[in-house]
Structure 1
Amino acid sequence: MGQDRDVLNVSLIQTLKENVKDFTTDNLGNIYLLTGTNQVKKVNEKGDSIAVYNDVRRYGKVYSLDATNPLKILVYYKDFSTVVILDRLLNVRATVNLRQQNILQATAIATSYDSNIWVFDELENKLKKIDESGKVLMTSTDFRQIFDSVPTPNTMYDRDGQLYLYDPLKGLLVFDYYGGKKNNFQLLHFIDLQVIDKNTITARDSNYIFLYKPASLQLSSFKAFKDQATYKKINFNGSLLYCLTKDGELQIFKVLK
């Protein structure tokens, strides 16, 4: 696995001071902010507010947001094993209680290519796909039959006909849509790993931003900031780099060519 070092030139274009705890983006340029007051707030690329979801306290702490499908936002409450599905104006479209489907410990969820929901069930060590009523549509083989040491993914992505599960201790695992294992990339101990598409994977550590090209097994590292450890979360979306500071500011940078 080759590795290069380079400088990633970025220019700050916007700062959102919303007391942000977490965020995600969609493919239309919208940003979904989880604020310190437990609101989910949707803003456009200019920072103008579009919609707000206020009823976030009902199920405790939000574990993750998924805006892969801008018409169907997933808000996951891990402690309550509950997924709230919001429409594009952040109105509640459906609520899925995973416990009612005997999924008692889901470590990660993701939007599927057909607008259903992927769930990794840690207790059963199985990958499952459910619809928005909670009905289980597909169940994989028990991962204990596939792996000597079973992964516990904290992130999942459905991209280009494949499902990616990331466990920082086991690597990036690639599956087909029936739960069949296809590949395992040894990308270990990274944070904020994103599968952009089948040819582009980004991640970071406290010092560098990484770009991985699966076809060539090429891992490149870039220095973008003097002190990257000040950022709580860093995500890419197109030519933009979204960086959440530990003080709750979301800084948006343009990646310069």
Structure 2
Amino acid sequence: MKSLKSVIQSANIILFLIFNPLIFFSQKISKEIALSYQIDGINVDRYGYIYEMSYDNLFKKNKNNQILYSYSNKNLGKISQVDVSNPLRPLLLYRDMGVICVLDNTLSQQEKNIDLNSLSLYQTNCIANSNFDNGIWLFDVDINEIIKVDIHSNITYRSGNLAVILPDFKGPIIRMEEYNKHLFAFTKIKSLNLTNLDL
């Protein structure tokens, strides 16, 4: 025969098992994500992956905010722009150093860096992938010109001075994107559909 003490202990265990789920499920669960770094910019590619820039670091995250890949190059300094319009070939612009870095979808460097200073392009403001021929579009503020380079650092296209070609041009261009063989350039005032370019 069970003692009174063991019956009470059994009853307490049964009550704990019955009411314990109610305690856990009645609480509101909230989760905050604490970052150990400052975010300078965020981009999202067409597959929903998130790219976070933090000074000289680039992090690729999934929808659950888990870091999948990261890239950093301390020698080049701060990342100025990331272009993920082609998720298989993200581009990084290091404006202060005049360098474009081409990565793959795992954020591994693919080719040798493109040195814009060797092309006499000292004030490149923004870049964009050219999915048509794997070139890279860029806008140089110094010469007010849109230029296209290939992966071997050869200039394949020059627009000429945009202020001369487009009398209403209010530069500088702050963002560019190629879509369906058209280059779209965005200024602080309005966007320009540059359809007359030979792509």
TM-score by length of 2: 0.74
How far apart, in 2, do the equivalents of 1:111 and 1:74 lie? 7
Query: Displaced runs of 4+ in structure 1, greater than 6 A?
Result: none
Aligned residue type for 2:148: K
- How many residue pairs get aligned? The number is 165
Q: 1:112 aligns to what?
A: 130
Identity of matched residues, %: 22
Deviations 1:69-95 (A, max 9, x none): 111111111111111111111111121
- Taking the aligned partners of 2:48 and 2:57, their CA distance within structure 1 comes to 19
| TM-score, normalised relative to structure 1 | 0.59
Change (3 A) 1:16 1:138: farther
Deviations 1:169-227 (A, max 9, x none): 3x2111026269xxxxxxxxxxxxxxxxxxxxxxxxxxxxxxxxxxxxxxxxxxxxxxx
Give the Cα–Cα distance (whole angstroms) in 2 for the partners of residues 173 and 136 of structure 1. Answer: 22
Q: Does residue 142 of the first structure (1) align with residue 157 of the second (2)?
A: no
For structure 2, the residue ranges without an aligned partner over 5 or more in a row are 1-30
Question: Which of these residues, 91, 94, 97, is aligned with residue 80 of structure 1?
Answer: 97
Equivalence for 1:53:
71
Alignment match, 1:152: 172
Establish whether residue 35 from structure 1 lines up as the match of residue 54 from structure 2.
yes
Q: Which stretch shifts more, 171-180 or 159-168?
A: 171-180
* Alignment partner, residue 5 of structure 2: none
On the 8 A contact 1:129/1:139 being kept in 2, the answer is: yes
Distance 1:80 1:104 in 2: 9
| Superposition CA RMSD, Å | 2.3
Residue identity in the other structure for 2:182: Q
* Greater share of residues in strand: 1
Give the whole-Å Cα distance in 2 for the aligned partners of 1:148 and 1:60. 36
In structure 1, distance between residues paired with 2:150 and 2:142:
20
Q: CA deviation at 1:64?
A: 0.7
SS in 2 for 1:75: strand
Greater RCO (CA < 8 Å, at least 6 residues apart): 1
Aligned partners of 1:179, 1:121: CA distance in 2, in Å?
19
Q: Distance in 1 between matches of 2:198 and 2:185?
A: 11
Distance 1:54 1:144, change over 3 A: closer
- Paired with 1:149 and 1:80, the residues of 2 have a C-alpha distance of 31
- Max Rg structure: 2
1:195 match: none
